[in-house]
Amino acid sequence: MKKLDFKKHLYKIVVTVLIIFFIGGVGMGAANILAIEGVRELYTPDEPLTPLPETNEEITSYADMIITKALNEKPLTQSKEKYSIDTDSIENSLDNNRLNCAAVMAADEIENIIESGYEEKTAGYGESSASFLPAGLMLSSGDIESIDFKRMYYKCSMCADSIDYEDFDEKCPKCGNLNSLELRYSDNYEITLHIKPDSASFKNSSFPKTEKLESVFAQNASSTPYYTFKYLEKDIKTADIYIKVNRLTDKIETLRFETVAQNTLNLYFDNEYSELNDASVKYIAKDKLEYTFTWPGLKLNSNEKTIELGSTEVLKATLTCDDPVKYDVVWSSSDENTVTVDEEGYLKTHKVFGDSVITAKFVFNGKEYSDTCLIHVGVPAEGVDLDKGRIKLNTGDSYTLTAEFDPSDTTNTKCFWFTENEKIAEIDQSGKITAKGKGKTTVYVITDDGNYYSSCKVEVNK
Ligand SMILES: [Zn+2]
């Protein structure tokens, strides 16, 4: 066992490392390297904050509860409304081609006029959104036609791909793996409630109201000399509510009301279009009202890390709030004998091996937000030895060397292998020597940190 003389071996180390990277990159491919990491990850499902809502009744009251939570805890809340006309669906009561063409050409303009009548609203962090966010869905379970509830997915342990639960068909669509597919809970629930548009309480629900649309039309129609707007009929075909919520925190991320309706505009034409007289134009349109929520918080770039004694690492905290640079992050370590952390998130190990929890926190609008990272301080190698110092082989024979680390509980037992002369003996990255031709050479093992090495003399006979 020797302490490495860097100058003497630098050239070899550089060449070896380059070869390893080259072989690693070409032979394995980045996707496979990721897959190996994916296999190591063990799945422990976290408990939801609220028991899984299952019946229609439980789901609607869960939805009301998470909306109330957003109203009370006041995350950044934004709303916007979108109106889109399906131009292929436009038809008119007179079967008049000119009128149809005019309506198709006016569709964009109508969308713009309607959307400009919809106001985008924002309530900043800590501000009340009660003036534009409904207090709840205002629906009863009887209003629900059906519910789509996305809460699971499959994780492929071969290619680390995520597969939608609904799309799953016996094997991984990406790599064809049949065996190691793990059913997991997503952090988010995605719930789509399909509402019966003819149900009694639908009219009183939190869906955008027809009157708003009608008043936008009426206002604009009064300014055109060609027609007078009489009234709008809205025959709602589908009404859906989409909710995306983090099941671990009950923090809602998206709330969307979406209706698809056949609209009938009843118009009275004047002046150069007076021959059209009374006419109606029908079209299908989608009306979408969406609320998005951004919750304040702090997130670390890692929640678990292993570091070797003597090495340095840095943790990064990302703040979600009005002005992240304005706030100070306070760092602390649960065991300062093992690892300490400075005000920038730099970790420093000490003489003691073991685990320590690093906490980063900041205070925003009077509330504290935090995240933690579990640090394992590992035992570094202090030397490496081989099970054989010299070996005799015949061409074609092979032998696998074993690297023995000092101390025996060294955490990082990764090492690199190389040979002085591969025409005599080749060595792979598991330490397997293959005798290639007559002669004498030496094979080496180097520890991952490059600090220690050991060698074995190889003599190949005919
Ligand atoms: Zn796969």
DSSP letter for 379, please.
P
Task: Quote the ligand 1 centre to 44 CA distance (angstroms).
Answer: 20
Q: What is the Cα–Cα distance from 83 to 114, expressed in whole angstroms?
A: 7
- What amino acid occupies position 459? E
- Half-sphere exposure of 177 toward its Cβ, with a 13 Å CA cutoff? 18
Instruction: Using the mean position of ligand 1's atoms as its centre, give its distance from the Cα of residue 151 in Å.
Output: 20
Query: For the range 110-113, what are the long-range contacts, defined as Cβ-Cβ under 8 Å and sequence gap of 24 or more?
Result: 110/85, 111/83, 111/84, 111/85, 113/216, 113/220
Say how many Å lie between the CA of residue 21 and the centre of ligand 1: 25
How much distance in Å is there from the Cα of 159 to the middle of ligand 1? 4
Ligand 1 centroid – CA 158 distance (Å): 5
d(CA 395, CA 436): 5
pLDDT at 29: 34
Distance CA 425, CA 418 (A): 10
Place of tokens 């030397």: 383
Spacing, Cα 43 to ligand 1 middle (Å): 17
* Residue 349 · residue 310 · CB < 8 Å: yes
Question: What's the CA-to-centroid distance between 177 and ligand 1, angstroms?
Answer: 5
List per-block mean pLDDT (blocks of 10 residues) for the chain, which spans 462 residues.
50 47 38 36 74 92 96 95 93 89 84 82 95 91 90 83 76 78 87 91 80 75 76 89 96 96 88 85 93 96 86 91 92 92 92 88 92 88 92 94 90 89 94 95 91 94 84
Q: Enumerate the β-bridge partners of residue 357.
A: 374
CA of 152 to the centre of ligand 1 (A): 17
Which residues make Cβ contacts (< 8 Å) with residue 157, sequence separation at least 6?
35, 38, 39, 177, 180, 181, 182
Distance 170 CA to ligand 1 centre (A): 11
Pairing of strands 304-308, 367-378: parallel
**In this predicted structure, what is the pLDDT of residue 192?**
96
> The pTM is what?
0.69
Ligand 1 centroid to Cα of residue 160, in Å, is 6
Question: Token digits for 62?
Answer: 């869960």
Q: How far is the CA of 154 from the centre of ligand 1 (A)?
A: 10
Cα separation of 231 and 316, whole Å? 58
Residue 247 in contact with residue 59, Cβ under 8 Å?
no
**Parallel/antiparallel/unpaired status of strands 346-349 and 312-314:** antiparallel
How remote is the CA of residue 175 from the centroid of ligand 1, in Å? 4
Q: How far is the CA of 356 from the centre of ligand 1 (A)?
A: 35
- Give the pLDDT confidence score for residue 370 in this predicted structure: 94
- Tell me the β-bridge partners of 194: 146, 240
| pLDDT given at position 99 | 85
Rounded distance from Cα 181 to ligand 1 centre (Å) = 8
Task: Note the pLDDT of residue 67.
Answer: 97
Cα distances (angstroms) measured from residue 20 to each of 23, 25, 29, 128, 417: 5, 8, 13, 58, 9
Alpha helices in 222-269 (DSSP H): none
Give the SS3 label for residue 70.
helix
User: What distance in angstroms lies between residue 389's CA and the mean position of ligand 1's atoms?
Assistant: 43
The Å distance, Cα 58 to ligand 1 centre, comes to 35
- Structure confidence at residue 38 (pLDDT): 37
Token pair belonging to 381: 């190698």
How close is the Cα of 305 to the center of ligand 1, in Å? 26
Distance from C-alpha of 258 to C-alpha of 279, rounded to nearest angstrom: 28
What number of other Cβ atoms are within 10 A of residue 330's Cβ? 14
State in Å: Cα 390 to ligand 1 middle: 44
Nearest-angstrom CA–CA distance, 365 and 8: 60
| Residues recorded for the chain | 462
182 alpha carbon – ligand 1 mean position (Å):
11
